[in-house]
Amino acid sequence: MSASRHPALLSTDPELASFVAAEEVLQAQTLRLIPSENYVSAAVLEASGTVLQNKYSEGYPGRRYYEGQQNIDRVEALAIERAKGLFGVDHANVQPYSGSPANLAVYLAFAKPGDTVMGMALPMGGHLTHGWGVSATGSWFRGVQYGVRADTGLIDYDAVREQALAERPKLIFCGGTALPRTIDFAAFAEIAKEAGSILVADVAHIAGLIAGGAHPSPADHVDVISTTTHKTLRGPRGAMLMCREEHAKAIDKAVFPGLQGGPHNQTTAGIAVALHEAAQPSFTAYAHQVVASAKALAAALLQKGFDLVSGGTDNHLILIDLTGKDVPGKIAAKALDRAGIVVNYNTVPFDPRKPFDPSGVRIGTPSLTSRGLSTEHMPVVADWISRAVDAAAKGDEQALAVIRAEVTDLMAAFPAPGLPLS
Ligand SMILES: *Cc1c(COP(=O)(O)O)cnc(C)c1O
């Protein structure tokens, strides 16, 4: 593999080109299990690197503050139409720069500083932007948090209801970053209605599963859907806000001019392509395979003696609880990295350890499924994870090197989308 697939970059800035080339090798050779990551297609990569980059386009299609928008308007209108069709919503805004600013726009649209907002606690699997203290959303608003039950690892909807009726939050967020189970949008909708709250489904992690019919859709239940475009949806780094017609104006106004300036048109183009890809039958098959492989991987890990939060998974994500093992999450994650298996360490609900040194490891199947690995490969993946965690406990670097060679060998047979052949 060489940097020559970016010839201009190589000649202008060989140092930077070498970093990109090294990242291509890393992404090709490793088994990437971080559940929020993926491989975009070559088409999405191309669309996101176009001259659309050169245009300023404050405003919305047909209502811009700059001239020369003939083509940009068509790009953005196409992305919007595709989002509406794929997710079954009245309105879509494809301009948010990423998931966090998209969520901030929701606050701006519906709440005032100091208002109460409710989301899942970060250490329970929620996201920073759902009112957690260290986030602007938790310091400018009064964040109250719900969690999961200690005995089941599942959301206790009765407890959420009780809390919502006591707090009467302006906003309720459902969704998160470490939730291995199906979200009951209808249950949240009933609670939000009773409490008089705006309900936001933050489906950043599961948008691709929803698009592919492998997770129920929130479209008929919630006021606003917030999502990133770069996780299971397999688009460029970006985000979308979707809603019914009644909230369209408030959402658009909050994104621009409320929070952002010009949209990133090259990203909008990449989103349009990703939405087109996600509407194909092959993507439906992809989404279902992601879930099937995650279930198979969970079953194989349980067989190896691992504890999994909630006992398994319904979606793309598995949270391994290492509390009962000799190795905490960070040490396990770093050992897995040396073995060519890329994961992230993560808190588990009721974690006895600190967030920067927690007890869990979070894994998922979106990336490996994009490379064509399937259910039958999950026992070997579980075996690698088990051997690597054992090796980490014993400080056995040789064992990690052996696993790394096996991983590199298998991955060479599954070329990654968007990457040159290794
Ligand atoms: C990833 C994620 C976000 C934030 O997205 P960024 O693009 O990293 O800002 C927000 N909410 C949830 C649930 C996420 O998983």
Give the model confidence (pLDDT) of 149-203 as tens digits: 999 999 999 999 999 999 999 999 999 999 999 999 999 999 999 999 999 999 9
Give the model confidence (pLDDT) of 189-234 as tens digits: 999 999 999 999 999 999 999 999 999 999 999 999 999 999 999 9
- CB neighbours of 318 closer than 8 A, spacing ≥ 6? 35, 180, 294, 297, 298, 301, 308, 312, 362, 363, 364
CA of 127 to the centre of ligand 1 (A): 7
Distance between CA 46 and CA 200 in Å, rounded?
A: 32
**Annotation says 338 is catalytic:** no
3-state DSSP assignment of residue 161: helix
Q: Is 204 in the pocket of ligand 1 (CB under 6 A)?
A: yes
Q: What is the mean pLDDT of residues 60-80?
A: 97
Give the model confidence (pLDDT) of 98-150 as tens digits: 999 999 999 999 999 999 999 999 999 999 999 999 999 999 999 999 999 99
Q: In the CATH hierarchy, which fold is given to the domain comprising 47-278? A: Aspartate Aminotransferase; domain 2 (3.40.640)
Residue 74: other Cβ atoms inside 10 A = 12
**Annotation says 65 is catalytic:** no
The superfamily CATH assigns to domain 7-36+289-412 is Aspartate Aminotransferase, domain 1 (3.90.1150.10)
With contact defined as beta carbons under 8 Å apart, do 319 and 398 qualify? no
Residue 119 DSSP class = E
In this predicted structure, what is the pLDDT of residue 420?
Answer: 74
With contact defined as beta carbons under 8 Å apart, do 37 and 367 qualify? yes
CA of 122 to the centre of ligand 1 (A): 12
Residue nearest to atom 13 of ligand 1 (CA): 176
pLDDT at 40 over 60: yes
In what side-by-side order are the strands of the sheet with 171-174?
91-93, 239-243, 224-228, 198-202, 171-174, 116-120, 142-146
Residue 328: other Cβ atoms inside 10 A = 21
Model confidence band, residue 1 (pLDDT cutoffs 50, 70, 90): very low
Among 106, 129, 260, the mutation site with the greatest number of ligand 1 atoms within 8 A of its Cβ is: 129
Q: Is 38 in the pocket of ligand 1 (CB under 6 A)?
A: no
Q: Is 238 in the pocket of ligand 1 (CB under 6 A)?
A: no
Residue nearest to atom 6 of ligand 1 (CA): 99
- Asked whether the domain spanning 47-278 has the same topology as the one spanning 7-36+289-412, the reply is no
3-state DSSP assignment of residue 19: helix
**Annotation says 237 is catalytic:** yes
Q: What are phi and psi of 202, to 5 degrees?
A: -95, 95
Q: Is 362 in the pocket of ligand 1 (CB under 6 A)?
A: no
- CB neighbours of 199 closer than 8 A, spacing ≥ 6? 171, 172, 174, 188, 189, 192, 221, 222, 223, 224
Q: What is the mean pLDDT of residues 394-421?
A: 94
Q: Is 175 in the pocket of ligand 1 (CB under 6 A)?
A: yes
Q: Which H or E run contains 138?
A: helix 136-139
Q: What is the mean pLDDT of residues 230-251?
A: 98
Compute the Cα dihedral for 118, 91, 257, 127 and give only its sign. Answer: positive
**Annotation says 323 is catalytic:** no
3-state DSSP assignment of residue 278: helix
pLDDT at 312 over 70: yes
Q: Which H or E run contains 92?
A: strand 91-93
Compute the Cα dihedral for 104, 109, 115, 120 and give only its sign. Answer: negative
**Annotation says 231 is catalytic:** yes
CA of 102 to the centre of ligand 1 (A): 9
**Of 84, 237, 253, 338, which is the active-site residue?**
237
CA of 390 to the centre of ligand 1 (A): 32
Calculate the average pLDDT of the chain: 96
Q: Per-residue DSSP letters for 295-352?
A: HHHHHHHHHTT-EEGGGS-SSSEEEEE-TTSSS-HHHHHHHHHHTTEE-EEE--TT-S
Residue with tokens 């989308």: 417
Distance between CA 221 and CA 148 in Å, rounded?
A: 21
Looking at the CA of residue 130, tell me the nearest atom of ligand 1: 11
Q: Is 284 in the pocket of ligand 1 (CB under 6 A)?
A: no
Give the model confidence (pLDDT) of 44-64 as tens digits: 999 999 999 999 999 999 999
The letter for the amino acid at 60 is Y
**Of 82, 231, 325, 371, which is the active-site residue?**
231
**Annotation says 56 is catalytic:** yes
Residue with tokens 């998922």: 364
Looking at the CA of residue 203, tell me the nearest atom of ligand 1: 13
**Of 39, 97, 146, 202, which is the active-site residue?**
202
In this predicted structure, what is the pLDDT of residue 186?
Answer: 98
Model confidence band, residue 387 (pLDDT cutoffs 50, 70, 90): very high
Looking at the CA of residue 237, tell me the nearest atom of ligand 1: 7
Residue with tokens 């932007």: 129
Q: Is 267 in the pocket of ligand 1 (CB under 6 A)?
A: no
- Cis upstream peptide for 101 (omega within 30°): no
The CA-to-CA distance between both ends of the chain, in Å, stands at 6
pTM of the prediction? 0.97
Model confidence band, residue 374 (pLDDT cutoffs 50, 70, 90): very high
CA of 2 to the centre of ligand 1 (A): 33
The letter for the amino acid at 169 is P
Q: What is the CA radius of gyration of the chain?
A: 22
**Which of 397, 107, 102, 52 has the alpha carbon at shortest distance from 242?**
102
Q: Where are the domains of the chain?
A: 7-36+289-412, 47-278
Distance between CA 324 and CA 206 in Å, rounded?
A: 29
Q: Is 205 in the pocket of ligand 1 (CB under 6 A)?
A: yes
